[in-house]
Amino acid sequence: MASIRGRLFRLSPQLFGKEITLNDFLENYVGQKKMVILGEYHCSPNIVQLQTNIQEKLAQSLIVQPSNDERAQDIPKVRVIMEHVSMNMQGILNKYHHHHDTSKLLKEYEEIGTEGFNLNPYIPALESAVNSENIRLYGGFIPRPFARILMKEGVEKAIEEASSAGFIPKDETLTGTDLHYNYFESLLTGRKYLQSEPTDRFRKMFPAQIIKDVSMAWATKTIDRVFNTTGNDKMLLVCGVGHMLYNHGVPERIFKDCSEMKAIQSKEDVLRVACLPVSEGQLVQNAKENNDEIIALLRNHYGSDLDAADVCFVYEEVLSSEDEDEEIIKETQAVYDKVGNTAHLEGGDMKKAHAILKSLNYTNEEIEYAGEDAVNYQGVGNPHRHVTIKNRDSVLDLGSGLGVDSLIASSKCGPDGKVIGVDLSNECVQHTNKRAKERGLEDKLQFIQSSIEDIGDKLESDQFDVIISNGAFCLLPNKKKGFSEAYRLLKSGGKISICTTVVKNGLEEGVEWPLCMQTFAKMDELVPMLEELGFQDIEIDLSDSLMEEEVEIEIGDGDGKEGEEFISNNTNNEEGEGRFKVHNEEGQKQFRHLENFDMNNLCARVVIKARKP
């Protein structure tokens, strides 16, 4: 068995925090069980190596009964059931077992295109399986389009279609327990599980979680019934960690009626393994001196008496480097330089522009002042709703884009006020300075080119009464540095109103996401970060958090930055392809799997309000 870069700890209440070696784990835990449920963070090489070790150990521990019948199908097998390959992809897995062609598997998986995972990190586990006579691979989750059917057309329609396709049992109702919802809601909000009552905000989304759990359990029981002819098969279920902790989700559905299975008869036959990433340097490999720190981390994350899982694999998560951050900045700048080149005043859809602004609660006066520039609106919210700009105020617009919010701010600060817009794109800055001059505002409205994180000596400290931003913080690779610059530039008593989009609990790892989504901040990290920087009166406003409007505009219609003409004329050329890395166009091949995700489940539009003391 190959070594792993991580450490293993017991999570059961009686032995919580007890460290076990890899050999002990494989011999005395994995080898003694009939089923292992591995709750993973997707696409981690460390977890893939652990998965490989588990499936190989399960294969070694198979009991082969003496028999005169030596047919291969009657030899016990390890059945590996995977979340990241959907049940309708079983055909390509069967061909993979026959031809052992990994590159062909990856190509066919991408061509089907509904799941969006990057299978490359899983190659060691996949090849280990197909090179063994005793391991078989299976798709384990319902295809993603069924979650979309559920959210768009309702639970009954999803049950009807999914059961007809054989992905869930016909008598399924997709109802879950209150405890399971408590856990599900805690995943989305960051609330500690069972420490307080959950909100009801995500009740509608809950069945979309349950249908995945049900489908994996149904696939497992079906595979056991059809293929476990000897009764000696073993099983490895690989699912996201959110589908197995505290016996919710997949384990709950497996344990229900498990006495009817041949592979297992009770919970005692199952080993539950959770995974937990920690920051670089936090985990000292094969060292005992930091055990207390790790055990405290486990206790805080899981609770020592809640039976989250049997074992936890703790491993270091490699964070993005400064070089990667710089690459993101360069790519974003290149894309928005193209945006600046497409800025226009004629030929734009003014009705659509006004509809967008009104939907975001811009006032008639603000829309009227924006005038013909409204067609170049780009943003995710309305920062003017959440801060008052007074006569003579100094205002800074971070990520000013094509200048609509800066223009509106200039109408409020009076003739003695000033507005400065900062944008990464030189093309956008050229356009906005030209427009300020054409509108006779060059004395009070100006734009400079800079990244938000590195304004540095371009602007002096303590000079702005108000800082606004509308969408730019979505794309900052270093959020803390950006907010630190905002704090530096504010006067004492100055306020920020930052409209941005956040992820509620992290994006599903391994799925290919547009650049804008990869760089979203996690909602539960915002307040601690702002407090650390010194901000006070911090509020995360969720009053307009639903993503539908932004998805329709930003993904479906190009978020107004280029206008419909640019989108329709450039979806197949080099510029269009570059833009879609930042803001995805629904229907583009690279991101078509995103149609099957519920964006309200993943993300939220928020306004970050705070004051510098």
pLDDT tens-digit profile of 114-132?
666 778 899 999 999 999 9
Are 486 and 496 spatial neighbours (Cβ–Cβ below 8 Å)? yes
How many C-beta neighbours within 10 Å does residue 156 have?
11
pLDDT in tens, 566-597: 222 223 333 333 333 344 443 345 555 566 66
The whole-number pLDDT of residue 299 equals: 93
The whole-number pLDDT of residue 368 equals: 93
Mean pLDDT along residues 407-425: 94
Are 25 and 7 spatial neighbours (Cβ–Cβ below 8 Å)? no
The residue type at 379 = G
For residue 34, pLDDT over 90 is answered with yes
Helix (H, G, I), strand (E, B) or coil at 163: helix
Beta bridge partners of 497: 468, 609
For residue 335, pLDDT over 90 is answered with no
Q: How far apart are CA 479 and CA 520, in angstroms?
A: 9
Token pair listed for 516: 């804008």
pLDDT in tens, 449-467: 998 988 988 899 999 999 9
Q: Name the nearest CA neighbour of 376 among 410, 408, 412, 339.
A: 339
> Of 296-300, 339-343, 426-430, which gets the smallest average pLDDT?
339-343
Mean pLDDT along residues 376-390: 91
Q: Name the nearest CA neighbour of 312 among 327, 326, 297, 322.
A: 297
Mean pLDDT along residues 409-415: 95
Are 521 and 502 spatial neighbours (Cβ–Cβ below 8 Å)? yes
Token pair listed for 474: 């979505």
Per-residue pLDDT band at 426 (split at 50, 70, 90): confident
Mean per-residue pLDDT over the chain, rounded: 83
Are 558 and 566 spatial neighbours (Cβ–Cβ below 8 Å)? yes
- Residue spans of beta strands (DSSP E) within 434-526: 445-449, 464-470, 490-503, 521-522
What percent of the chain shows pLDDT beyond 70?
80
More confident residue, 326 or 186: 186
The whole-number pLDDT of residue 376 equals: 81
For residue 236, pLDDT over 50 is answered with yes
Residue with tokens 């062609």: 101
The residue type at 608 = I
Mean pLDDT along residues 483-498: 96
Token pair listed for 575: 């510029």
> Of 68-77, 89-98, 134-143, 324-333, which gets the smallest average pLDDT?
324-333
The whole-number pLDDT of residue 551 equals: 33
For residue 215, pLDDT over 60 is answered with yes
Q: How far apart are CA 579 and CA 563, in angstroms?
A: 13
More confident residue, 275 or 351: 275
More confident residue, 183 or 191: 183
Most distant CA pair in the chain: distance in Å?
97
Mean pLDDT along residues 59-68: 74
Per-residue pLDDT band at 14 (split at 50, 70, 90): very high
More confident residue, 547 or 422: 422
For residue 425, pLDDT over 90 is answered with no
Q: What is the pTM of this model?
A: 0.65
Mean pLDDT along residues 88-116: 89
For residue 509, pLDDT over 80 is answered with no
Which 8-state DSSP code applies to residue 283? Answer: -
- The sign of the dihedral angle between the CA atoms of 579, 582, 583, 586 is positive
Beta bridge partners of 565: none
> What angle in degrees, to the nearest 10, is found between the helix axes of 178-189 and 206-227?
120
> Of 68-72, 398-402, 438-442, which gets the smallest average pLDDT?
68-72
Residue with tokens 């080898």: 31
Which ranges of 200-321 does DSSP label H, i.e. alpha helix? 206-227, 250-255, 291-302
Per-residue pLDDT band at 339 (split at 50, 70, 90): low
More confident residue, 378 or 47: 47
Mean pLDDT along residues 294-313: 93
Which ranges of 178-244 does DSSP label H, i.e. alpha helix? 178-189, 206-227
Q: Name the nearest CA neighbour of 102 among 141, 82, 131.
A: 131
Domains of the chain in sequence order: 7-56+76-317 (3.40.50.11550), 348-505+520-548+599-611 (3.40.50.150)
For residue 346, pLDDT over 80 is answered with no
More confident residue, 522 or 167: 167
Per-residue pLDDT band at 27 (split at 50, 70, 90): very high
Ramachandran region, residue 456 (left: φ > 0; alpha: ψ -120 to 50; beta: rest): left
Token pair listed for 369: 């002042």
For residue 511, pLDDT over 80 is answered with no
pLDDT in tens, 534-574: 999 999 998 877 765 443 333 333 333 322 322 222 233 33
Averaging pLDDT over each range in 156-165, 468-477, 598-607, which range is the top one? 156-165
Residue with tokens 């391994």: 510
End-to-end, the C-alpha distance of the chain in Å comes to 57
> Of 332-341, 371-380, 432-441, which gets the smallest average pLDDT?
332-341
Q: How far apart are CA 50 and CA 36, in angstroms?
A: 12
Are 78 and 233 spatial neighbours (Cβ–Cβ below 8 Å)? yes
Are 578 and 335 spatial neighbours (Cβ–Cβ below 8 Å)? yes
The residue type at 170 = K
